[in-house]
Amino acid sequence: MKKGIKTGTLVAMGLVLAGIGWSLAAERKQAEPKQKGEAIEEQKQEQKERSRRIKPSQGFLAGFFAASFERKHLAGGYRSLTLPIKEYQLLNIRPGDFVDVLATFDAAMADKRKEKVTATLLQHVLVLGVVKCGDLEGKGAVHLMVNPNEGQYAALARYQGEIDLALRAEGDSEMHPMEMASFRKLFSN
């Protein structure tokens, strides 16, 4: 190991995913358990304690396991979903942060041509843990707290295209209806 490593068509599917993303976000906001805030505080405290215990000389595996999370941080009714994410997207994301999950995929348009589109699938999702490989061009992973429906759609999106994360500002919990983005929409206005 290197020294210094640190810790009905796709259009229809896209429209459905965009609609589901909004309804899931609204459902999440209404059903967000009170214990979620407690889980965040416990997780932040535990992460601080872990980082104090792990020394750089302990190597990659120690850093890897420190970046994972403990099951007690999951709120009732939620699941942990691990998604592979490009390392450079994880630079500023830490456990306890909230992110939006975006999916970019090829959609078959009405005129039978393909076009890349991006849909915001999930909004205001709690990051439980982050695993970094130490290579900005490589893949890391992020552990997210999702309800069962959100988990299904995030897993589906993973196999249909690319997943991106958008870090939310601290205290930003607003949910917004989002339409799919495409270059055609961008340049047609």
pLDDT value of residue 110: 81
Return the biggest CA–CA distance within the chain. 59
Gap between the Cα atoms of 75 and 181, Å rounded:
32
Q: Which helix (H) or strand (E) holds 122?
A: strand 114-131
Closest CA to 9 of 115, 121, 127: 115
Q: Which helix (H) or strand (E) holds 44?
A: helix 35-53
pLDDT value of residue 127: 94
pLDDT tens digits, 149-158:
999 999 999 9
Give residues with Cβ within 8 angstroms of 4, minimum separation 6. 134
Asked whether the beta carbons of 96 and 43 are under 8 A apart, the reply is yes
More confident: 48 or 69:
69
Fill in the DSSP letter of residue 38: H
Residue 121 — pLDDT band, cuts 50, 70, 90?
Answer: very high
pLDDT value of residue 156: 92
Asked whether the beta carbons of 144 and 93 are under 8 A apart, the reply is no
The mean pLDDT of 87-101, rounded to a whole number, is 93
Tell me the pLDDT of the chain averaged across its residues: 74
